[in-house]
Amino acid sequence: FRLLTTFIVILGSACCAFFMWGTTEPPVSRRGRRRRQKGRAASATLRDSLLSESTSSDDRSSVSYSPESSTDRVSDDQLADVREEEEEEENEQSAGAEHVEWRDWFRRPVFYHVGFIYMCTRLVVNVSQIYLPFFVLDSLDMATQHITLVPLTVYVSSFVSTFVMKALNKRLGRKVVFTIGALLCASSFVYMYCFLHPHNALLIYPAVVVLGMGNATIMVTVVSMEADLVGPATESGAFVYGALSFTDKLSNGIAIVIIQRFRETASNMRHAECVVPFVAAMLAFMMTLMISESSFVKCEPDDAEDEANDDDDVEKRKLSSRKSDEEYSDL
């Protein structure tokens, strides 16, 4: 165990270092500055054009305004950039107006709901993984090599399941996906508690495959719920993540202390491995049903729909710019 722990720490540190120094973030701020500069330039061009039209028309009867000439000087793209810049400034002002302090979260019921779901999810994952080797040895009386093979099967199954999490959350939503994961975990615990014995111990492998799928599903989904809960309130997001993590650590510590207290008198790990995670999964499942779907981020449209929406926006902006030219012509 000492060698395993050392290997895990070294490998985890290497992966963290590779992520920190090997992953480059997109230059969002630089692109934003270029867009703002372009919008300001287009706005200045528009103002100069209108100013020149107004100052050169001292005698209005002698001046004939031509929309085509104005359109030549100020293109539709420039007008769209000006309007887009104004919309971005309005959005920034409205977003800045909604400032959420850390104490404001205590007045939001969804904060307690998501916190309870996160706590139960971590209980399911952590307790089932901690006591799985003891369940293999003490309850099923399997050989020592299965101490590594059974958890490895869980991890491989969890890793494979993560590839479909994005598509499932997009199609089905948070509540449905979490419900599926909780039911997968619960069915695995029921199977291990009722049907696994030393004479058919090898049947644990199908059960842990289902358990790995369920663990990955509920863990990925509940982390997404956390992100949905914080939303644009990033100034107090650290408090939300810290508070939920505190409940996770506290509940896991209490559960393990209670399990160890009873383990001193009973060597059977069946209840610790199956009953405690099963109860936590069912509690998280019931709490998920109490949260409205509007509390979570709705499904995003497909790429084709995104492109269609972008095309519609471009057409609307062009039409709006043409109407603006006609209004300037009337002036």
pLDDT tens-digit readout, 234-262: 788 889 999 999 999 999 999 999 888 87
d(CA 294, CA 169): 14
Mean pLDDT of the region 50-58:
54
3-state secondary structure of 266: coil
What pTM did the predictor assign? 0.66
Mean pLDDT of the region 218-226:
92
Helices vs strands, H then E, count in the chain: 14, 0
Q: How far is CA 170 from CA 91, 217, 224, 256, in A?
A: 26, 13, 12, 36
Tell me, what's the pLDDT at 74?
A: 47
Q: How far is CA 236 from the centre of its chain?
A: 17
pLDDT tens-digit readout, 148-166: 899 999 999 999 999 988 8
Helix (H) / strand (E) element for 292: namely none
Do the beta carbons of residue 198 and residue 293 sit within 8 Å?
A: no
Q: Is the pLDDT of residue 136 over 50?
A: yes
* Highest mean pLDDT (candidates 49-53, 103-107, 277-281): 277-281
3-state secondary structure of 226: helix
